[in-house]
Amino acid sequence: MPEYVTVERRGDIAVITLDNPPVNAFSLHLREPLNAELVKLRDDASVAAIVIACAGRTFVSGADITEFGTSRSGQSPNLIDICAMIETLGKPVVAAIHGTAFGGGLELAMACHYRVADPKSLLGLPEVKLGLLPGAGGTVRLPRLVPAEKALAMITSGNPIGAVEAKTEGLVDAISEGNLVDSAVAFAKSRIGEKPVAVREREARVSGGSYGALDGLIEEVTKKARGLEAPVAAANAVRNALRMPFDAALKAERETFLRLVAGDQSRAQRHIFFAEREAQKVPGIGKDVTPRPIRKAGVIGAGTMGGGIAMALANGGIAVTVLEMSQAALDKGFGVIDKNYAASVSRGSLTEAKKAERMGRLSGALDYAALADCDLIIEAVFEEMSVKKDVFGKLDKIARPGAILATNTSYLDVNEIAASTSRPQDVVGLHFFSPANVMKLLEIVRGEKTAPDVIATSLALSRQIGKVAVVAGVCHGFIGNRMLAARSAEGEALMLEGALPAQIDKVFTDFGWPMGPFAMSDLAGLDIGWRNRKALGKTSAIADAVCEAGRYGQKTGKGWYRYDGRKAEIDPEITALIEAESKKAGVTRRAVSDEEITERTMYPLVNEGAKILEEKIAARPSDIDLAYINGYGFPVGKGGPMFWADLVGLKKIVAALDKWHDKTGRDVFRVSPLLRRLAETGGSFSARPA
Ligand code: NAI
C-alpha cells in the first residue's frame, strides 16, 4: 500500500505530509488515514502544534473529481468532517502551501488556523468552472479571511490569486522564505500556547461595511452568468456567509452543492473538463512521437485571420514573420494588430511593456525568402484552391526541410493542397477561429499523408499558445463548419413557410447561443455568402433578395435587421420582403413554433455530428462537443451538441428527423445509421456522463 499520509516529529511539532500523486487530490484513500492521524495527534499530549504539508509538486489541488456523483464522494470522513475536526483540535494547525491550493485544497487550508505559503503558490476556488460552488465551507470561510467583495470575485470567477496578494488580502498569514516546511514549523512554534482561533469564529465583512455594494456585485454576476446556475449560486452563498450564522450558511452551501452536482449543467461542464484532456489523445500518436521544435513561425496573409494568428503565436512567445502581397496590405494588417493590443492595454488586461514585447516578436516581409528559416508556416490567404496551391508551391521551394506547412482553410481539401507540394507529410490544416487571438478552438486537420510528429507538434503548439485542440479528418468544412452548414440548411425554408429572422434568432439565444444565425450573418457580412453562391451558380431566394436590396449587414447599417449603431432592430421592410417571397413561391405562411425551429436546426446539427463520427472525421463525440463549445459559442452548460443530444433523448431526435425527412425529403434529415442504432439500442454519445 502506498503511504498516502506520513507523520514526522520535529520536537513538539508534528508534520503531516500528504502524498497522493500527481496533484494530491483529496481522495477517500487520503482522507481516511489523514483523519486517523489527526485523531492520534489530537490525543497525544506531547504534540503542541501540527503542520499539514504536501509532497510532490503541489498542495492539495482539489477534490478528486472522479469521485463526484459516486458514493465515495461524500463518504466519511469527508472534507467537511476533516475541516471541523481541524478547527476544534485545540492545538494550532498550520497549512504549508506550495503549488496550487485549489478547491477542496484551499478549503482544507482555510479550516487550518494559519496558512504559510510558498511565494510562487496560487490559491483559488475554481469549482464554478465545473458548474459547482465550493461544497466544504469555501464560500463561508473565505469571506472571514478576505473582504467579501474579494471572496465574491474569486468564487464567482474561479480565478486564483498569487501568494503575495493572498497575504495582503488576509488569506495567508506568512510567506515562506527558503524551505516551506521549515518556515511552517517555525511559524507553528511561535504560536504554541496560544488558543487557536478558528476561522469560523471570525466575522465575515465587506470593506467599509457597505452591503449595498455587494448586492450590486451579485446583480452583475447574475447578469453575466447568462443562464449558468453556478456563479449565481456562488454569489448568493457569499451573501449567506455575511447574513447567516456560520453553521446555517455552511448547511445552505452544502445543499446548493448537492443540487448543482446532481444537475445537468455541472455534469455538462465536467464532461467538457474531461473532453479537453481526452482530445489530446489522438489515434496513432503515442507518447513516443516527439514534436518538432517551433522557434520561428511564418504567417502568409495579414488579413482578418492572418493578423489574429500572428498575434496568437506572438502571445505564446513565438517569433513570427508575416508575409503579404504589398506594403500597403502589410501596414494595414500591422495597424490592426497594434490597435488590438492597444485595446487590451486600455482595458487593463495587458501592460505597455508586454505589448511592446509581443509586437517585438512580429516582423513583416514581402519576399518568400524571409520565411526560409521558419519551423512552421501558416497560410491564411483568400479561400480559393488556385491561390492556396500557388502559395504552397512557393513554400515548397523555399521552406527548410522538416518545416511544417499549414493551411487555415475553412473548407478546402487539405489532401489536395498537400499534393501540390513535394512533401505532403509536412502539410496539415491549422484551422483557427475568428478572432484568432481570442477564440480558443484550434481544429487540427489531419491529411491522409500528414506525419504523426506533425500532429504531435500541432497539439504541443496548441498548448503553448493556450488553445483547445481538436483533431479532425479531411472533409468539406471539417467538424465545425460542416455541422454548421447542416444547422443553417433549413433557415431559408423556415422563413418561406412562416418564421421571421428575429423569431429564429430568439430560439437560438434562448437556447444559450451568444447570437442567432441572422444576427451573426449581419455581423460577418451577407455579401460573402452571396458572392459564393453566385460563383457556384446557386441561389437562395430570400437571402439573395436581401443582398440585392443593398443590405449587407452591420457594415451597411442594414441586413436581416436595421441597425442603430450596433443595436439590431426588427425592420418591417424585411418582414415585407420575406412575405413577398413566400407569395412568389406560392407558399401560404403559417405559424412556425419554436419547437419546430429547434427540430429543423439543432437536430440536423446533431445528426451531422453522428455522420462525422461514422466517417471517423472526429475520433469521439466529446471532440465534437469541445469544438462547438470553444469555436462556435455552444452554451457550456449544455455540454456540446452530442452531450445535449443525450439529454434530449436520441429517440426523440430520430423521430423528429424522420418526420421532417418524410415531409421534405431533404438530406439534412436523413438519419445517420449510427444515430439510429444508438437510439434503437438505448445507447448514448457521452461515454462518461459522471
Ligand atoms: P482576408 O481577406 O481578411 O485576408 C486575406 C489576406 O491574404 C489579405 O490581406 C490578402 O492581401 C492576403 N493574400 C492573398 N493572397 C496572398 C498571397 N498570395 N500572398 C500573400 N498574401 C496574400 O481573409 P480571411 O478572412 O483572413 O481568411 C483567410 C483564410 O482563413 C481563408 O482561407 C478563410 O477561409 C480562412 N478562415 C477565415 C475565417 C474568418 O472568420 N474570416 C475563419 C477561419 C478560417
For 567-612, write each residue's pLDDT tens digit: 999 999 999 999 999 999 999 999 999 999 999 999 999 999 999 9
| 387 touches ligand 1 (CB under 6 Å) | yes
| 410 touches ligand 1 (CB under 6 Å) | yes
Q: Give the pLDDT of residue 687.
A: 62
Q: Give the pLDDT of residue 1.
A: 62
CATH number at residue 31: 3.90.226.10
Q: Could you tell me if residue 212 is inside a domain?
A: yes
Q: Is the pLDDT of residue 46 over 70?
A: yes
| 382 touches ligand 1 (CB under 6 Å) | yes
Q: What is the pLDDT of residues 544-566, one digit of tens each?
A: 999 999 999 999 999 999 998 88
Domain count for the chain, please give it.
Answer: 3
Residues 208 and 72 in one domain: yes
Kindly give the number of the ligand 1 atom that is closest to the alpha carbon of 434. 40
Q: Give the pLDDT of residue 434.
A: 92
If pLDDT is split at 50, 70 and 90, which confidence band does 628 have? very high
Residues annotated as catalytic (active site), given as ranges? 107, 127
The closest alpha carbon to 641, from 529, 482, 474, belongs to 482
Q: Give the pLDDT of residue 689.
A: 40
Q: What is the pLDDT of residues 261-288, one digit of tens each?
A: 999 999 999 999 999 999 999 999 999 9
| 436 touches ligand 1 (CB under 6 Å) | no
Say how far residue 199 (Cα) sits from the centre of its chain: 34
Q: Give the pLDDT of residue 309.
A: 98
Average pLDDT over residues 284-304: 95
Q: Is the pLDDT of residue 688 over 80?
A: no
Q: Give the pLDDT of residue 690.
A: 40
φ and ψ at residue 53, rounded to 5 degrees: -125, 175
Among 299, 325, 367, 381, say which to mutate for ligand 1: greatest number of ligand atoms within 8 Å of CB. Answer: 381
**Measured distance CA(32)–CA(44) in Å, rounded:** 19
Q: Could you tell me if residue 493 is inside a domain?
A: no
Q: Whose CA is nearest to atom 44 of ligand 1?
A: 410
Residue 357, H or E segment = helix 352-360
Kindly give the number of the ligand 1 atom that is closest to the alpha carbon of 333. 9
How far apart are the CA of 409 and the centre of ligand 1, in A? 9
> Mean pLDDT for the chain?
95
Q: Could you tell me if residue 622 is inside a domain?
A: no
* Domain stops at, among 585, 614, 642: 585
Q: Which domain holds residue 536?
A: 499-585
Residues 75 and 214 in one domain: yes
CATH number at residue 530: 1.10.1040.10
Q: What is the pLDDT of residues 16-34, one digit of tens each?
A: 999 999 999 999 999 999 9
Q: Could you tell me if residue 579 is inside a domain?
A: yes
How far apart are the CA of 602 and the centre of ligand 1, in A? 29
Q: Is the pLDDT of residue 414 over 50?
A: yes
The closest alpha carbon to 181, from 21, 53, 41, 94, belongs to 53
Q: Could you tell me if residue 79 is inside a domain?
A: yes
Q: Could you tell me if residue 676 is inside a domain?
A: no
* Domain stops at, among 262, 279, 306: 262
Kindly give the number of the ligand 1 atom that is closest to the alpha carbon of 306. 26
If pLDDT is split at 50, 70 and 90, which confidence band does 115 have? very high
**Measured distance CA(643)–CA(266) in Å, rounded:** 12
Residues 205 and 338 in one domain: no
Kindly give the number of the ligand 1 atom that is closest to the alpha carbon of 301. 7
**Measured distance CA(171)–CA(155) in Å, rounded:** 14
Counting residues of the chain whose pLDDT is more than 70, the rounded percentage is: 99
| 381 touches ligand 1 (CB under 6 Å) | yes
Q: Give the pLDDT of residue 532.
A: 83
Q: Whose CA is nearest to atom 30 of ligand 1?
A: 380
Q: What is the pLDDT of residues 436-490, one digit of tens each?
A: 999 999 999 999 999 999 999 999 999 999 999 999 999 999 999 999 999 999 9
Q: Whose CA is nearest to atom 39 of ligand 1?
A: 434
Residues 309 and 171 in one domain: no
Average pLDDT over residues 351-373: 98
Q: Is the pLDDT of residue 423 over 90?
A: yes
Residues 105 and 237 in one domain: yes
Residues 126 and 240 in one domain: yes
Name 323's bridge partners: 300, 365
Q: What is the pLDDT of residues 314-332, one digit of tens each?
A: 999 999 999 999 999 999 9
Q: Is the pLDDT of residue 511 over 50?
A: yes
How far apart are the CA of 233 and the centre of ligand 1, in A? 44
| 301 touches ligand 1 (CB under 6 Å) | yes
| 407 touches ligand 1 (CB under 6 Å) | no
Residues 440 and 505 in one domain: no
Residues 127 and 250 in one domain: yes
Residues 433 and 547 in one domain: no
How far apart are the CA of 330 and the centre of ligand 1, in A? 13
**Measured distance CA(151)–CA(50) in Å, rounded:** 27
Residues 469 and 517 in one domain: no
* Domain stops at, among 262, 288, 323: 262
**Measured distance CA(414)–CA(393) in Å, rounded:** 14
Q: Could you tell me if residue 43 is inside a domain?
A: yes
How far apart are the CA of 466 and the centre of ligand 1, in A? 22
Residues 46 and 176 in one domain: yes
Residue 364, H or E segment = strand 362-365
| 302 touches ligand 1 (CB under 6 Å) | yes
Q: Give the pLDDT of residue 72.
A: 78
| 310 touches ligand 1 (CB under 6 Å) | no
Say how far residue 129 (Cα) sits from the centre of its chain: 9
pTM exceeds 0.95: no
Q: Could you tell me if residue 603 is inside a domain?
A: no
Residues 19 and 72 in one domain: yes
**Measured distance CA(175)–CA(184) in Å, rounded:** 9
CATH number at residue 328: 3.40.50.720
